[in-house]
Chain A
Amino acid sequence: MLDEPRMTAPSRKRRSQLLRNLNAKVASIPMILTAVVVFVGGTAWTIVYSFTSSKLLPRLNFVGLEQYERLWVTPRWLVAIKNLAIYGALSLTFSLVIGFLLAALMDQKIRFENTFRTIFLYPFALSFIVTGLIWQWILNPSFGIQGVVRSLGWTSFSFDPLYNSDIVIYGVLIAGLWQGTGLVMCLMLAGLRSVDEDIWKAARLDGIPTWKTYLFIVIPMMRPVLITTLVIITTGIVRVYDIVVAQTSGGPGIASEVPAKYVYDYMFLAQNLGQGFAASTMMLIPVIIVIVPWAYLQFGRGRRG
């Protein structure tokens, strides 16, 4: 305050910029602190301790890359990564495609749109645990789909994905899609509705077929919604955990293990924090790969614009 008269012009300008929207800045301090201290700090702490031999309690005795070396030769971790890749790729594709198709159908000014929207979105209101349990029952060979079809007389019918190591992850995928597609549909529908009616009129006037209008005009215009949806789906995939626990507990054997479950099991059941931290650090990498370029693109563009 004292040296204010001596302040040079640029510094005064900086000062005034700092004070602009002061209320908003003060109000966001708690969130910034939480983000920095808890999230960034917690992540850094986890990474540091992943280089130690911590067992039940975190201890700072460094062992270099030992935890990571062990991680990448553990069959269970490799199975988990493979499952995540399959689940991720398919879940991303199918939920986007199905979600968009449903939204496009809803957008045809159909009757009872609200009813349909509720029906499709309803599974999203259920937790993953409930979803997993429901689908565990539906896919159970003795009283699920297989049982029902067999009781109708087709006794050779066999459909038991959850008890077959080779296809169990697809059983989990079905449940995941059932739960998540409704949300994608809603986001897509909002995106479709945000497209100006005049564009449709213009396209119709030019005689462009509907599917072409969707593919080449509407979808490119929905880019922001698509990106948001993509980020939500991708991050949801990386942390997939509860649905597997409820549906299969990682079984049969270790056939449906996922990385998040590996992290939990090694941190708390095997009492090997170091190993769990190493695995969770590895889980951070795909997230960074998705988030960083996206954030760069979004915010970089925003500033230029």
Chain B
Amino acid sequence: MSNRTMMIALAAFVAVIMTAPACKKGGENKAGDKAGETKAGSGDTAKAGSGSDTAKAGSGDTAKPAGGVDLEVTHWWTSGGEAAAVAELAKAFNATGNKWVDGAIAGSGDVARPVMISRITGGDPMAATQFNHGRQAEELVQAGLMRDLTDLATKEHWKEIIRPASLLDSCTLNGKIYCAPVNIHSQQWLWISNKAFKDAGVAIPTNWNEFVAAAPALEKAGKVPLAQGRQSWQLTLTFQVLLATIAGPDAYKKVFGAKDKAFAAGPEITKVFQAAEQARKLSAKSTVQEWNQATAMVIKGDAGGQIMGDWARGEFQVAGQAAGKDYTCLPGLGVNEVLQTGGDAFYFPKLKDEAKSKAQETLASVLLSKETQVAFNLKKGSLPVRGDVDLNTADECMKKGLAILAKGPAAIIPAPDQLMTADSNTQINDLFAEFFAKPEMTVKDAQKRFVALIASAK
């Protein structure tokens, strides 16, 4: 018996002490599975691709468009609207004679990024991968795992065409460019259901304060005033938006950019926390988890509004609602017209295969071409990264966004990803997850802990 117990105990012991490494292993396995899937999915094309690789190496001429190669591109765009947008990128890249092998990783970036990182650090890099602008890939770049795109960027004048310039700055490390930005996502939007306000018999608000004032009427009509998904990133988003709009863009930059802890402890930030407390009360009855479930509440008219990024517009579009008629959008909550220019960028891991490396450059320049930018961003609901494209087909909300973008640097704030490390961001996310879920947590306590996190943030 003692032998058997020993075995069982050993197995259990091992399972526990391996918790940490096991996680890592899980990630790698997932990545492995993913690679298997993509390969299995494109068996024929993969063969054709490798055939042409050798042909190309033989001819020595790499500029030929015919007989392209397969590039695996990983990303986490899997919802309906997102997948349609990716299809545009794939179409444009396939038109160059190469082949886009789609490596979509379901789930949010939080799920996908560990898979991508472990594939790159584990020696099985994809040809290109999505990350958010900012510092998520910084260490991978420092470790020399990512490809330097400076030559291509100089040739194609990325510095002149990409607007705002901060996008390219966050792709730059020690003067070298490592990624190609593809879109601008802004988060500072309040989406309002016209139906909910009509049902409650109050006028559609034009800013956050009117929205708060109208809340009792909404509640009386049996509506949840503010729809709010319960995941921590959404709760943090709500706070960040309140910070940038109620206290203004300068305050935002002082807190997250300069990490000014004295300012973070001051009365201006207290006002933001009070607004967050109001938002907590208004959203107390919103029990959904996912952001699109919260958006669905607004679409159905069960909720008055939602603070969410411009990707919510895709949901309204899918539901067949029109901006201005069925829903209203207030960039900067109607208080302070600011937009954050975060978004997505593609990074290109270093590859050994020369033909594939060449095709990486083709892909990078396709991603930034005028035509791709328009086609992709119209589907995605985001704004293009270059100012010289044709956007006549834009809807009311996109025009509002573009108008703010055109105002220049004063109305633009960088994303928290660009200002702080993932570590500091996670700590702040945790604080707001707690604050919004715990009605007994006071403004004073929350601000005190916020100041401590800002003081230690990097």
Contact = CB atoms under 8 A, between A and B. Distances in A.
A235 B20 contact: no
Given A268-B23, A276-B20, A75 B422 contact: no
Given A57-B143, A249-B289, A275-B423, A287 B16 contact: yes
Contacts of B19: 239, 241, 260, 263, 280, 283
A294 interface: yes
Given A39-B17, A235-B16, A249-B289, A271 B433 contact: no
Contact of A165 (B23, B438, B449): B438
A264 B5 CA distance: 30
Interface of A: 35, 39, 42-43, 46, 55-57, 74-76, 141-142, 160, 163, 165, 224, 227-228, 231-232, 235-236, 238-239, 241, 249-255, 260, 263-272, 275-277, 280, 283-284, 287, 291, 294-295, 298-299, 302
Contacts of A250: 232, 433
B8 A163 contact: no
Interface in B288-318: 289
A298 B5 contact: yes
A269 B8 contact: no
B436 to A, nearest CB: 6
B27 interface: yes
Contacts of A238: 16
B23 A264 contact: yes
Q: Which are the 9 A-B pairs with shortest beta-carbon distances?
A: A253-B437, A270-B426, A280-B20, A252-B437, A56-B139, A235-B12, A268-B114, A272-B423, A271-B422
A56 B141 CA distance: 11
A35 B17 CA distance: 11
Interface string B1-42: 110111011101111111111011001000000000000000
A254 B429 CA distance: 10
Contact of B434 (A76, A268, A302): A76
Contacts, number: 145
Contacts of B13: 235, 287, 291
Given A252-B437, A253-B438, A232 B8 contact: yes
A235 B421 CA distance: 34
B6 to A, nearest CB: 7
Contacts of A298: 2, 5-6, 9
Contacts of A280: 19-20
Contacts of A55: 139, 421, 423
A42 B21 contact: yes
B8 A228 contact: yes
Interface of B: 1-2, 4-6, 8-10, 12-21, 23-24, 27, 110, 113-114, 117, 121, 136, 138-140, 143, 230-232, 235, 287, 289, 421-423, 425-427, 430-431, 433-438, 449
Contacts of A141: 287
A284 B13 CA distance: 9
Chain B contact residues: over half helix, strand or loop, or mixed?
Answer: helix
B2 A254 contact: no
Contact of A283 (B5, B16, B110): B16
Given A263-B19, A302-B2, A231 B423 contact: no
Contacts of B114: 268-269
A265 B425 CA distance: 12
Given A249-B231, A254-B434, A280-B20, A271 B421 contact: yes
A295 B423 CA distance: 39
Contact of A291 (B9, B18, B235, B436): B9
Given A75-B430, A267-B24, A270-B425, A231 B9 contact: yes
Contact of A265 (B5, B21, B426): B426
A253 B139 contact: no
A46 B20 contact: yes
A181 to B, nearest CB: 18
A57 B121 contact: yes
Contacts of B1: 224
B436 A267 contact: no
B437 A251 contact: yes
B297 to A, nearest CB: 12
14 contacts: A39-B17, A74-B430, A76-B434, A224-B2, A227-B5, A228-B8, A235-B12, A235-B15, A235-B16, A239-B15, A249-B289, A272-B422, A295-B9, A299-B6
A231 B17 contact: no
A245 to B, nearest CB: 11
Nearest to A228: B5
Contacts of B113: 268-269
Contacts of B4: 228
Given A253-B435, A254-B232, 17 more contacts: A56-B140, A75-B449, A76-B434, A224-B5, A231-B12, A251-B231, A251-B433, A255-B438, A264-B23, A267-B23, A271-B423, A280-B19, A287-B13, A287-B16, A287-B17, A298-B5, A298-B9
Most buried by B among A55, A163, A271: A271
Nearest to B140: A56
B289 A251 contact: yes
Nearest to A251: B230
